[in-house]
Structure 1
């Protein structure tokens, strides 16, 4: 029963509960980013206005793709936990709209599936990205799958954006899909980047899980085991009625904790 409950909570965490979490996070991120835009303090580099490195999960842009019904706040960072809130900007690339190459990664199925339909974008389709430097207009130049030729390198003074997500059946990714788009509005100067591809954490790369918090999963499993041992003792000594009242909520809490840590280990684009 405990294993079944754990598996059920894991599925719900990625799908139903994940949708609510994504929606709530997007509402908060949208409010925060619009306030930053109004106060002219929205980030334009890897640091904030005080040159302090941006933490994962802070809003850096808003992407609007009306042709596929997508309007999402883009956050800084691309690890598995960060992309639960929305599409993530890869730290080793410039922000959208700036001169150079920018990469944004989003989930295809879970947590709102913000990039679940980007394969429907066709060459010539335009969309916008709002950053602290203003509104930027992009035009799709093509889709790429594994083995497809890459587009020409970005020339000096040009700006290109690559959208990346998983392909395949929902929650069963078989590869990646990339959407290449070129900036058709005026490019903005690039902000300072401390992170390079060589120093980019493995958890921030495509289809990667985050193993840095495995210790938290160990603690969560230990808590679940302790709860179940206590439940068995209570069932035998106190009786089933009181045991159900006390330990069903505790078991659900423990399962939610375990499921949350397990999700961090799963691919960040799933």
Structure 2
């Protein structure tokens, strides 16, 4: 009988093992442009997401906070009624100080378009992220003279989106530290329409201003004029006029002060993108993207939030 001998299995000689696929060596000449394109894509995506979605949520949150703060000021009788305000400590008045930009100064209600919003002091792009703003060189609603309030048409809630639907005879109410004041719309002005005659010394007027044109692509300015129908309230002495407010508070102006935070957030975004490139070369594509994409999106949204200030303030 013949015997068949089977050789025991053992490890193959290294020469017998077929070579596996080699990981390609990263090419810096391709990685650097790829990183730059990733940064631009994240900034663009963050800007679009912020304007369309996140800014609406930010507007709602800012309005809730501003309404709670302003309601408390109205209850305590400390709401500002002029360009300056006085703080009280234990019932003793302190020195006067300028009303800070963004401080709530009125609650505006327009029944025709279902609008009820808190108005902040100032009209720069940063202030209008929280809602409409009162131009600081004009009187407050209810006082003698013309009070000007600006608001965005599309971004950050677009509170003034439907101003063009107002018609003469519609009512507008504004609640300030001097009470509730009623206005009656007298006209809607588009580019080329004549401006109304100046208000008399004992009359009050309200002008609402927003952008005109497609959403996020404004072409000009829309104005709504309204006459005060309730009693005129005392007007505190004004310390500065239109020549004292910065250009960033004019209609359709950008805010150049936003460049510093934009650059700082942009640098953070650049560092994060470079770190993601480094991790991709060591962890792999999917692992690095899972970790890095949320960070890039968060930094992109923060950068976009400041970059919006560079755009027209009525956007």
Report the TM-score when normalising by structure 1: 0.96
Q: Distance in 2 between matches of 1:37 and 1:230?
A: 50
Residue of structure 2 in register with 1:88 after alignment: 133
Residue of structure 2 in register with 1:213 after alignment: 258
Residue of structure 2 in register with 1:29 after alignment: 66
The alignment partner of 1:166 has SS state of: strand
Q: Distance in 2 between matches of 1:74 and 1:80?
A: 14
The match for 2:163 among 106, 115, 118 is 118
Residue of structure 1 in register with 2:14 after alignment: none
The match for 1:259 among 304, 307, 312 is 304
Q: Distance in 1 between matches of 2:286 and 2:218?
A: 44
After the TM superposition, which segments of 4 or more aligned residues of structure 1 sit over 6 Å from their partners? none
CA contact (8 A) 2:39 2:270 kept: no
The alignment partner of 2:160 has SS state of: coil
Is residue 66 from structure 1 mapped to residue 111 from structure 2 by the alignment?
yes
Q: Distance in 1 between matches of 2:214 and 2:290?
A: 39
Measured after TM superposition, the shift of residue 266 of structure 1 is 0.5
106-115 vs 254-263, greater mean Cα deviation: 254-263
Measured after TM superposition, the shift of residue 256 of structure 1 is 1.5
CA contact (8 A) 2:121 2:133 kept: yes
Measured after TM superposition, the shift of residue 247 of structure 1 is 1.7
Measured after TM superposition, the shift of residue 11 of structure 1 is 1.2
The alignment partner of 2:219 has SS state of: strand
| Residue-by-residue CA offset, 1:148-172 (whole Å, 9 max, x unaligned) | 1111111111110100000100011
Q: Distance in 1 between matches of 2:129 and 2:186?
A: 28
Residue of structure 1 in register with 2:271 after alignment: 226
Residue of structure 1 in register with 2:196 after alignment: 151
Is residue 20 from structure 1 mapped to residue 46 from structure 2 by the alignment?
no
Structure 1 unpaired stretches of 5+: none
Measured after TM superposition, the shift of residue 193 of structure 1 is 2.8
Is residue 100 from structure 1 mapped to residue 180 from structure 2 by the alignment?
no
Q: Distance in 2 between matches of 1:255 and 1:224?
A: 7
Residue of structure 1 in register with 2:83 after alignment: 46
Residue of structure 1 in register with 2:48 after alignment: 11
Give the aligned CA root-mean-square deviation in angstroms: 1.3
Measured after TM superposition, the shift of residue 37 of structure 1 is 0.8
Measured after TM superposition, the shift of residue 238 of structure 1 is 3.1
Is residue 55 from structure 1 mapped to residue 100 from structure 2 by the alignment?
yes
Measured after TM superposition, the shift of residue 241 of structure 1 is 4.3
Is residue 76 from structure 1 mapped to residue 113 from structure 2 by the alignment?
no
The alignment partner of 2:313 has SS state of: coil
Q: Distance in 1 between matches of 2:252 and 2:290?
A: 41
Is residue 109 from structure 1 mapped to residue 146 from structure 2 by the alignment?
no
Structure 2 unpaired stretches of 5+: 1-37, 88-95
Is residue 168 from structure 1 mapped to residue 213 from structure 2 by the alignment?
yes
Residue of structure 2 in register with 1:181 after alignment: 226
Q: Distance in 2 between matches of 1:252 and 1:172?
A: 24
Higher relative contact order (CA 8 A, sep 6+): 1
Q: Distance in 1 between matches of 2:283 and 2:186?
A: 68
The alignment partner of 1:213 has SS state of: helix
| Residue-by-residue CA offset, 1:61-80 (whole Å, 9 max, x unaligned) | 00111111100101101011
| Residue-by-residue CA offset, 1:169-228 (whole Å, 9 max, x unaligned) | 001101011001010100011123333111111110000010113122112222111111
The alignment partner of 2:302 has SS state of: helix
